[in-house]
Amino acid sequence: MCYAVSTGPDPLGTYYRYAFERTLFPDYPRPAVWTDGYYVPTSTGDDVIQKHICIVDRAKMLLGQPATEQCIIIDGANFLNNADIDGQKAPPVGTPNIMMAAGGTQLKNVFDDDGIYYWKVHVDWNNPAKTKADGPVKIKVAPYHYLCNGQLSSCVPQPNTERRLDVQGDKIMQRLVYRKVGRHESIVAAHSVATSAGGGGVRWYEFRLNNKGNPELYQQGTYAPEGFYRWMPSIAMDKKGDIGVGYSFGGLPNFPGLRFAARPAGDPKGRLTLHESVLALGEASQTNTLRWEDYTTTAIDPSDDCTFWYVGDYLKAGDTSYRTRIGAFRLPNCKGGH
């Protein structure tokens, strides 16, 4: 696994570079920043129910010093995501990182569950024998079924072609976001689920940490206004506690494109009340492969801690391969400055 850590605030400047050898290929990495390390969960293969969580020494890497990596094997787990800090208020140093996964097991044809599962990951750079992941612990949520029974499936129909698109429906998508708002600590997550209308919806959650640092369900919702497909969601929260989520949109007669929805913090729980807006209107179908994106990201602009940035793929008329759109939105009650 390779890392490049900026030596300063200029993204076009110089970087400290690191490489850590793995005995197994670290597939589908999903990086997260925590106070005591860079956390990167990976998979060992599509036909193995085993995941790795590896942590590298962030403090030393920020200084360009020799650094080490510690890895934990998690057997029998779905795709893992580690909490990634947003905002100016970080958790206290030494706070375990929260790691989450959806339930079910596609390789065993288990596509349904009613829980999100978490681990508390503690890394000890002085005594690696004390590094551990405690869990899993189930958080009961509304029942769900993987959209199109999971990943690597021909799912979303497109105009003028028999090719359907994969939706990565078996996993929580990047990012799993930690945010401290006022006196409470939140974690937001999202994944794709099947809906009764026949398409796919965005299932999203806000968890809050209790006085023991354990996540509990605060609110949840499934955004599926009608029978089209919404998939590959990526969620974030601004400094006011507003939630925004970007995702792919498609299903006949629509070409695949990009949309987003959001909610102000004070609105009724479980609803994305700032209704759907179009970021990129698809104009063509993808015909060369069923794989669609694999990753998208919604992130908060650190300059104002309010602006949501979302990146995803779409095609314009005549395209034979995807292009990328980067867009931004901000909720009206969040003002610039920290």
* pLDDT per position as a tens digit, 129-174: 999 999 999 999 999 999 999 888 899 999 999 999 999 999 999 9
CA–CA dist 134, 74 (Å, integer): 10
The pTM (predicted TM-score) of the whole model is 0.95
Say what the pLDDT of residue 335 is: 84
* Inter-residue contact 221 to 204 (CB < 8 Å): yes
CATH of domain 2-329: 2.120.10
Say what the pLDDT of residue 212 is: 95
CA–CA dist 238, 258 (Å, integer): 21
Q: How many helices (H) and strands (E) does the chain have?
A: 1, 21
For residue 299, the cross-strand partners are: 309
Question: How confident is the prediction along the chain (338 residues), in pLDDT tens digits per residue?
Answer: 999 999 999 999 999 999 999 888 888 899 999 999 999 999 876 666 789 999 999 999 999 999 999 999 998 888 999 999 999 999 988 899 999 999 998 888 999 999 999 999 999 999 999 999 999 999 999 999 999 998 888 999 999 999 999 999 999 999 999 999 999 999 999 999 999 888 999 999 999 999 999 999 999 999 999 999 999 999 999 999 999 999 999 999 999 999 999 999 999 999 999 989 999 999 999 999 999 988 899 999 999 999 999 999 999 999 988 999 999 999 998 987 55
CA–CA dist 162, 155 (Å, integer): 11
Q: Which residue has the tokens 């990495």?
A: 29
